[in-house]
């Protein structure tokens, strides 16, 4: 179950709790008030259990007190109960129950609950998939300033789901979220400037937003910033700077960045030429089903560049890429097959089938 949830819980260590007499006293007071039915005290006590502040961390106990406050109509507590069911914290995961509590909070105007209720309608978990209903809740949350909802609403306008496609409107919502420091929106706003969608094309402005998101560790923005340096769009061309940003994104698992980093090592752009290092990054991207990386890895095996020459593995990767529709692989596969025995061809095809079947593990 996919939920975009943000947690800021910090657990205190046992020694800190033992000496926290003021904290323990506060917990005792809150518990006494909570047991008397005071909703805000019930909520605050639940937070203590969730974070392990003044008490041993206990998600089940936290949920118990969140639920008691929620049943009294506390919107924040209703959201927390929904969140617990959504991620299975202190209770078995239950999408329908999550939606129930998100809705109760959302109907009271709780922005984060409105966002998650919208997400439930998009995914179709706990409710039937309904883009128009999702749009309704996203908009309500977005208008309250929820950055994730603003981002989601912009995506609706980009994709034309539940609304007419409108890049200008998408840019409006991306900007509102981006100005709050929301990295995915900063990246997507950069993309709009790069492509001139919904706004005047401006590569310098694109780089500005990519950099803001990249500095927050956003992998796709790091890739886009690297590409900007590689192409000299919005900045002076600088292969070393491109490699820096590609590497940061690649280390986070971005397949496109892994491929571009491999290509940098392959061609010696921004780094000393190193075929072995190129193969390493081609393989990582290839295992994420990036056809061009699969192709280049196959060529590396066929040529014996950066790895021991092996026609069987070369054909295997070229065959996988060709099956994915990469035209150059079909041509190179045909050339490579001309020097292979029937036995080796049969083995290579079998390896390709097995590799895909086991989702590239050990390939």
Encode pLDDT of 88-135 as tens digits. Answer: 999 999 999 999 999 999 999 999 999 999 999 999 999 999 999 999
Residue 280 lies in a domain: yes
The residue length of the chain stands at 363
| pLDDT of 25 | 64
Q: Which of 103-107, 162-166, 319-323 has the lowest mean pLDDT?
A: 162-166
Task: Indicate whether 165 belongs to any domain.
Answer: no
In a domain, 187, yes or no: no
In a domain, 363, yes or no: yes
CB-count exposure of residue 99 (10 Å: 0-12, 13-18, 19+):
buried
170, 157 contact by CB (below 8 A)? yes
Question: Does residue 294 belong to any structural domain of this protein?
Answer: yes
Are 318 and 287 in contact by the 8 Å Cβ rule? The answer is: no
* Residue 306 placed within a domain: yes
| pLDDT at residue 165 greater than cutoff 80 | yes
331 falls within a domain: yes
Comparison of pLDDT for 167 and 4, the residue scoring more: 167
Question: Of all residues in the chain, what percent carry a pLDDT higher than 70?
Answer: 92
Distances (CA, A) of 135 to 100, 149, 151: 18, 9, 12
- The whole domain housing 306 covers 274-363
Domain count, the chain: 1
**Is the pLDDT assigned to residue 248 strictly greater than 80?**
yes
> Which residue, among 290, 270, 343, 293, has the nearest Cα to 301 in the 3D structure?
293
- 195 phi, psi to nearest 5 deg: -95, -15
- Over 50: is that where the pLDDT of 7 sits? no
Half-sphere exposure of 142 (CA within 13 A, CB side): 27
The reply to whether 166 falls in a domain is: no
Given this model, what pLDDT does residue 312 score? Answer: 97
């Amino acid at each position: 179950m996919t939920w975009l949830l943000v947690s800021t819980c910090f657990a205190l260590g046992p020694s800190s709790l033992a000496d926290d007499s003021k904290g323990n006293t506060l917990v005792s007071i809150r518990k006494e008030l909570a047991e008397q039915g005071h909703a805000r005290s019930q909520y605050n006590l639940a937070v203590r259990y969730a974070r392990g502040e003044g008490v041993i961390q206990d998600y089940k106990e936290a949920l118990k007190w969140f639920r008691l406050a929620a049943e009294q109509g506390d919107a924040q507590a209703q959201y927390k109960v929904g969140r617990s069911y959504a991620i299975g914290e202190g209770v078995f995961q239950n999408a329908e129950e999550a939606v129930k509590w998100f809705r109760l909070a959302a109907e009271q105007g709780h922005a984060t609950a409105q966002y998650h209720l919208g997400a439930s309608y998009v995914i179709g978990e706990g409710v039937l998939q309904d883009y128009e209903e999702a749009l309704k809740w996203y908009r309500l949350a977005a208008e309250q300033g929820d950055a994730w909802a603003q981002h989601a609403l912009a995506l609706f306008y980009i994709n034309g789901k539940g609304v007419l496609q409108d890049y200008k409107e998408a840019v409006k919502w991306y900007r509102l979220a981006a100005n709050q420091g929301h990295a995915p929106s900063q990246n997507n706003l950069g993309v709009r400037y790069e492509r001139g969608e919904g706004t005047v094309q401006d590569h310098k402005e694109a780089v500005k937003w990519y950099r803001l998101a990249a500095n927050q560790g956003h992998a796709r923005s790091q890739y886009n910033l690297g590409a900007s340096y590689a192409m000299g769009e919005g900045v002076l061309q600088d292969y070393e700077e491109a490699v820096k940003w590609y590497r940061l994104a690649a280390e986070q698992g971005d397949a496109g960045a892994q491929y571009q980093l491999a290509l940098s090592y392959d061609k010696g752009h921004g780094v000393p030429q190193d075929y072995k290092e190129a193969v390493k990054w081609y393989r990582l991207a290839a295992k994420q089903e990036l056809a061009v990386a699969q192709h280049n890895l196959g060529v590396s095996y066929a040529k014996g560049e950066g790895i021991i020459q092996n026609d069987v593995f070369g054909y295997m990767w070229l065959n996988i890429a060709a099956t994915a529709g990469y035209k150059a692989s079909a041509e190179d596969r045909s050339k490579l097959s001309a020097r292979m025995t029937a036995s080796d061809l049969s083995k290579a095809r079998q390896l390709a089938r097995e590799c895909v079947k086991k989702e590239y593990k050990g390939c």
